[in-house]
């Protein structure tokens, strides 16, 4: 078994439950390749944890506090624990809803692994080479643990590992897309061509909230992607919905989902445009404006630029809201914490000269749990503002 030894004092955060060990905390280690399984010891040679070796700033992602090997039984226990949590949450395939996140990385004590369920299909994403090298075992664990039979298991890890030698592949079955249901609403999901694993499951409860306020309202959904918020708004009786995205593929997908749910196409306007440029012409025009942009910052180096971007976007978004209307605004940038996000939205309000009040503070759904000792996992921040 390969191993690494920590510098004195560096075991404290690990013993407190943090799932990462940074490279600067390691005093010495065996010769290893990315994805090797190893055991970690403190400077007194006492066992600390076991996990996968990485070559970046995160040297070890911890998967166990016991001396174990990642065999099939290990992965079956991990998947079983994730399934138990989803059963507890009532996130489980049924007639009305059959899409949810089965595995959420650090939040489920499996750093580096994402698994999303769409009907009878499971889409995996490896964010770590150790996970990637174990995908066959993980596939077997899923097939043997889930009480229903998956028809397809797909690995979509090329983008997350940033490795040209990695290919997205079918591990089991042959489906590349399906129609999934969320609260009785149907969505076409294509994991081979779509973003992430094909659909943003973390916004499930926030989409419901948009629907709650949308009856007889005009709604502008910016960065609309597959039109999730748009479809919920139309289903709830919105008078008009605009879906804006710079990607023509995304706009086409939103249109498909409107048709799929047999909603009034005359009330839906799909627009391929740069959101910032489009917003400049939308002053006081909409009852509800939704801003759900892609991550503006994926690392600390881009943090300042991201804050400026969110400020500029939200100032324009506020200006587009009719007096008394609502702004739903989100950030999925992990390096932008809740306080910084709120402060940035406050700065946007000052810049555009609109008074506002916070009605809701939003986040990711409970099938995207946050490890108590890894607050970085609370990546999705959202506010619902009423704009005067």
Q: What is the mean pLDDT of each run of 10 residues along the chain (388 residues)?
A: 97 96 97 97 97 96 97 98 94 84 98 97 97 98 96 97 94 97 96 93 97 98 97 98 96 97 97 96 94 82 87 97 98 91 96 96 97 94 97
Q: Write a three-state SS string for the chain.
A: CEEEEECCCCCHHHHCCCCEEEHHHEEEECCCCCCCEEEEECCCCCEEEEEEECCCCEEEEEEECCCCCCCHHHHHHHHHHHHHHHHHCCCCCCCCCCEEEEEEHHHHCCCCEEEEEECCEEEEEECCHHHHHCHHHHHHHHHHHCCCCCCEEEECCHHHHCCCCCCCEEEECCCCEEEEEECCEEEEEECCCCCCCCCCHHHHHHHHHHHHHCCCCEEEEECCCCCHHHHHHHHCCCCEEEEEECCHHHHHHHHHHHHHCCCCHHHEEEEECCHHHHHCCCCCCEEEEEECCCCCCCCHHHHHHHHHHHHHHHHHHHHHEEEEEEEEEEECCCCCCHHHHHHHHHHHHHHHCCCEEEEEEECCCCCCCCCCCCHHHCCCEEEEEEEC
- Distance of alpha carbon 371 from alpha carbon 377, whole angstroms: 7
pLDDT the model gives residue 295: 85
Look up the pTM and report it: 0.94
- Distance of alpha carbon 61 from alpha carbon 63, whole angstroms: 7
152: left (phi over 0), alpha (psi -120 to 50) or beta: beta
> Nearest CA to 231 among 265, 200, 196?
265
> Are the C-beta atoms of residues 92 and 86 closer than 8 Å to each other?
yes
Q: Could you tell me the two tokens for 94?
A: 């049924």
**121 in catalytic set:** no
CATH no., domain 201-387: 3.40.50.150
Look at the alpha carbons of 17, 380, 195, 120 in this order and tell me if their dihedral is positive or negative: positive
pLDDT tens-digit readout, 153-185: 999 999 999 998 999 999 999 999 999 999 999
- Distance of alpha carbon 372 from alpha carbon 384, whole angstroms: 25
Q: What architecture is domain 72-185?
A: 2-Layer Sandwich (3.30)
pLDDT the model gives residue 192: 94
pLDDT the model gives residue 304: 87
> Are the C-beta atoms of residues 306 and 297 closer than 8 Å to each other?
yes
pLDDT tens-digit readout, 336-347: 999 999 999 999
Q: What angle do CA 179, 227, 171 make, to 5 degrees?
A: 40
Cβ neighbours, 10 Å, residue 264? 12
Residue carrying the six token digits 């489920």:
108
> Nearest CA to 79 among 41, 49, 56, 108?
108
> Nearest CA to 182 among 201, 197, 196, 195?
201
pLDDT tens-digit readout, 123-150: 999 999 999 999 999 999 999 999 999 9
Residue ranges per structural domain of the chain: 2-64, 72-185, 201-387
Catalytic one of 82, 222, 332, 352: 332
Name the class of domain 2-64.
mainly beta
> Are the C-beta atoms of residues 209 and 362 closer than 8 Å to each other?
yes
pLDDT tens-digit readout, 284-312: 899 999 999 998 866 767 788 889 999 99
pLDDT the model gives residue 297: 65
pLDDT the model gives residue 310: 94
- Distance of alpha carbon 244 from alpha carbon 224, whole angstroms: 6
Look at the alpha carbons of 74, 53, 135, 127 in this order and tell me if their dihedral is positive or negative: positive
The burial class, CB within 10 Å (0-12 / 13-18 / 19+), for 81 is middle
> Nearest CA to 60 among 104, 10, 26?
26
pLDDT the model gives residue 301: 74
């Amino acid at each position: 078994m390969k191993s690494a030894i920590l510098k004195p004092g560096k075991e404290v955060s690990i013993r407190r439950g943090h799932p990462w060990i940074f490279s600067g905390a390691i005093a010495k280690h065996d010769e290893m390749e990315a994805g090797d399984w190893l055991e970690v010891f403190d400077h007194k040679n006492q066992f600390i944890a076991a996990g996968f070796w990485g070559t970046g700033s995160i040297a070890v992602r911890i998967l166990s506090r016991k001396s174990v090997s990642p065999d099939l039984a290990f992965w079956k226990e991990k998947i079983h624990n994730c399934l138990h949590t989803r059963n507890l949450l009532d996130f489980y395939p049924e007639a009305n809803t059959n899409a949810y996140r089965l595995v959420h990385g650090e939040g489920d004590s499996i750093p580096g692994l994402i698994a999303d369920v769409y009907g009878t299909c499971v889409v995996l994403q490896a964010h770590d080479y150790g996970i990637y090298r174990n995908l066959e075992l993980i596939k077997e664990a899923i097939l043997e643990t889930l009480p229903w039979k998956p028809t397809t298991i797909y690995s979509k890890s090329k983008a997350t590992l940033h490795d040209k030698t990695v290919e997205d592949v079918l591990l089991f079955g042959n489906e590349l897309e399906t129609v999934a249901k969320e609260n009785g609403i149907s969505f076409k999901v294509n994991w081979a061509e779509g973003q992430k694993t094909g659909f943003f499951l973390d916004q499930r409860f926030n989409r419901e909230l948009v629907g709650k306020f949308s009856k007889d309202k005009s709604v502008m959904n910016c960065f609309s992607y597959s039109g999730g918020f748009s479809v919920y708004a139309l289903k709830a009786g919105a008078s008009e919905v605009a879906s804006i995205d710079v990607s023509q593929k995304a706009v086409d997908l939103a249109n498909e989902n409107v048709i799929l749910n047999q909603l009034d196409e005359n009330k839906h306007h799909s627009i391929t445009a740069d959101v910032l440029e489009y917003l400049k012409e939308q002053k006081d025009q909409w009852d509800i404006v939704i801003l759900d942009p892609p991550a503006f910052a994926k690392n600390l180096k881009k943090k300042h630029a991201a804050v400026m971007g969110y400020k500029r976007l939200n100032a324009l978004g506020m200006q587009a809201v009719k007096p008394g209307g609502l702004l739903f605004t989100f950030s999925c940038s992990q390096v932008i914490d809740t306080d910084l996000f709120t402060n940035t939205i406050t700065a946007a309000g000052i810049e555009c000269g609109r008074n506002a009040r916070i009605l809701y503070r939003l986040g990711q759904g409970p099938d995207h749990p946050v490890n108590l000792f890894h607050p970085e996992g609370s990546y999705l921040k959202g506010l619902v503002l009423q704009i005067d």
